[in-house]
């Protein structure tokens, strides 16, 4: 585990960068839009909620534009990205943040099994994130590369009782990073994922009281926004200048955000693999992974040789 501390001088690299962000109306997304604009970026953000989005747009002036966009709609997302590209002729950073959590447990033994459960968490958190990543990659490529920052959760890698569908969706978001970063890095696109622990937004109202009584660590939305900015700027410094604790290239990383601090944990999961998988399993797995990552290997039977 490596604690990562923001190097404020890297925020200068955000000047005039074009950012597309989903879910910017409230909470973490709103704070990220504010921090990006404060540091000179131009942000085009999507959300389903109009009132707070229009307020944010008015607060930030010409550097922020709101586009009504339901992340679970592919055509809405195409429109969001196209609006940004048409306005600025490029996209440098994509932040995939829109998400919901349905607090009614569909696995509750008293739940009515004849009633089809909502899959909106999958549609917005997972399918929507895949849409953002796919369209985002297309636009980042136009400018020769950039940064894709995904927002998962502690539920992206840890057990979260009572939140089965949410947990599955957020594990999926970590899966987008793991599925994408190896092929994206050679295209100069860095894919990283943030996994915030408890953050003071409307998403956690149900558990807030007990949490504070136990004096457990809390993030403010600004802390998670800072972690997103760390990911978006870690590779942008000249001559290897980066954030304290960050290892370059900063790609394929998973950031645990807890108590306001950011910690990179994916490198250590990889480093410890021989311990939890066994040395021989780990060695053979490495061989298989190297084959799969080598040039000419393809899952597509029309392309493999
Ligand atoms: N608050 C936490 O403790 C916590 C912890 C881990 C991860 N997260 C994740 O952080 C992200 C932001 O959540 P938050 O805590 O700021 O809560 P929030 O509810 O304040 O923010 C979520 C934003 O997404 C928007 N949104 C919802 N459905 C949408 C849709 N279909 N299309 C576009 N936008 C939509 C909402 O309107 C809102 O602006 C989410 O992905 C959430 O899962 C939050």
For residue 83, how far is its CA from the centre of ligand 1 (angstroms)? 22
152 is catalytic: yes
Task: Identify the active-site residue in 88, 139, 166, 227.
Answer: 166
- Structure confidence by residue, pLDDT tens digits, 154-168: 999 999 999 999 999
Closest CA to 228 of 147, 126, 134: 147
- Which residue from 21, 28, 174 has its CB within 8 A of the most atoms of ligand 1, so it is best to mutate? 28
**Can you tell me whether residue 121 is helix, strand or coil?**
helix
Q: What is the residue with the minimal CA distance to atom 41 of ligand 1?
A: 99
How many other CB atoms are found less than 10 A from the CB of residue 259?
11
**Percentage with pLDDT > 90 across the chain:** 96
Decide: 225 and 241 in contact? Cβ < 8 Å.
Answer: no
Q: Does 293 share its domain with 155?
A: no
Q: What is the mean pLDDT of residues 255-267?
A: 98
Residues 168 and 289 in one domain: no
Mark whether 136 and 262 lie in a shared domain: yes
CATH number of the domain bearing residue 232: 3.40.50.720
Pocket of ligand 1 (CB under 6 A): 22-23, 25-29, 46-49, 69-72, 97-101, 124, 151, 153-154, 196, 198-199, 201-204, 221
Known active-site residue 166: yes
Task: Tell me: do 171 and 213 sit in the same domain.
Answer: yes
Q: Are residues 69 and 202 in the same domain?
A: yes
- Whether 279 has a pLDDT exceeding 80, the answer reads yes
> Do both 151 and 236 map to the same domain?
yes
Whether 64 and 183 share a structural domain: yes
Q: Cα–Cα–Cα angle for 165, 175, 181, nearest 5°?
A: 155
Q: Distance (Å, rounded) from C-alpha 14 to C-alpha 75?
A: 28
CA distance 103 to 165: 10
CA distance 42 to 30: 14
Together in a domain, 209 and 283: no
State in Å: Cα 28 to ligand 1 middle.
7
Confidence of residue 303 (pLDDT cuts 50, 70, 90): confident
296: helix, strand or coil: coil
Same domain, 188 and 301: no
Quick one: 239 and 280 in the same domain?
A: no
How many separate domains does the chain show? 2
What is the DSSP code (8-state) at residue 305? Answer: -
> Is the same domain home to 229 and 166?
yes
- CA dist 134 and 74 (Å) reads 10
Q: 10: Cβ–Cβ under 8 A, 6 or more apart, which residues?
A: 233, 234, 236, 237, 241, 242, 243
pLDDT value, residue 197: 98
Please tell me whether residues 225 and 300 are part of one structural domain. Answer: no
Report d(CA 134, CA 96) in Å as an integer: 11
Say what the alpha-carbon torsion angle 227, 228, 233, 234 is, to the nearest 10 degrees: 50
Lowest mean pLDDT among 154-158, 216-220, 300-304: 300-304
Q: State the distance from the centre of ligand 1 to the C-alpha of 175, rounded, in angstroms.
A: 19
- Residue 253: give the domain boundaries: 2-267
- Is the pLDDT reported for residue 79 higher than 80? yes
Which residue has its alpha carbon closest to ligand 1 atom 20?
A: 27
Residue 304 has pLDDT above 70, yes or no: no
pLDDT (mean) for 169-188 = 97
């Amino acid at each position: 585990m490596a604690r990562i501390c923001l190097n404020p001088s890297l925020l200068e690299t955000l000047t005039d960068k074009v950012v597309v962000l989903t879910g910017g109306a409230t909470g973490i997304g709103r704070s990220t839009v504010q921090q990006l604009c404060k540091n000179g970026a131009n942000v085009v953000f999507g959300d389903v909620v109009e009132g707070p989005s229009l307020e944010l747009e008015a607060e930030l002036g010409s550097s922020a534009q709101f586009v009504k966009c339901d992340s679970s709609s592919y055509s809405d997302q195409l429109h969001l990205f196209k609006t940004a590209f048409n306005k600025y002729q490029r996209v440098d950073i994509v932040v995939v943040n829109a998400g919901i959590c349905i607090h009614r447990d569909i696995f509750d033994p008293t739940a009515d099994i004849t009633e089809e459960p909502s899959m909106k968490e999958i549609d917005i958190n997972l399918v929507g994130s895949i849409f953002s990543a796919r369209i985002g990659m297309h636009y980042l490529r136009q400018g020769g590369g950039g940064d894709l920052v995904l927002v998962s959760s502690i539920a992206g890698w840890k057990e979260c009782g009572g939140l089965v569908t949410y947990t599955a969706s957020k594990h999926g978001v970590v899966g987008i990073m793991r599925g994408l970063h190896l092929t994206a890095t050679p295209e100069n696109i860095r894919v990283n994922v943030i996994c915030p622990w408890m953050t003071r937004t409307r998403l956690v109202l149900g558990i807030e009281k007990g949490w504070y009584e136990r004096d457990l660590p809390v993030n403010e939305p600004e802390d998670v926004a800072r972690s997103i900015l760390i990911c978006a700027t870690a590779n942008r410094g000249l001559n290897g200048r980066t954030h304290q604790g960050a290892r370059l290239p900063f790609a394929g990383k998973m950031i645990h955000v807890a108590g306001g601090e950011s910690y990179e944990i994916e490198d250590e999961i990889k480093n410890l693999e021989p311990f939890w998988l066994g040395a021989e399993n780990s060695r053979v797995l490495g061989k298989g992974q190297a084959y799969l990552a080598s040039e000419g290997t393809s899952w597509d039977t029309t392309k493999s040789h």
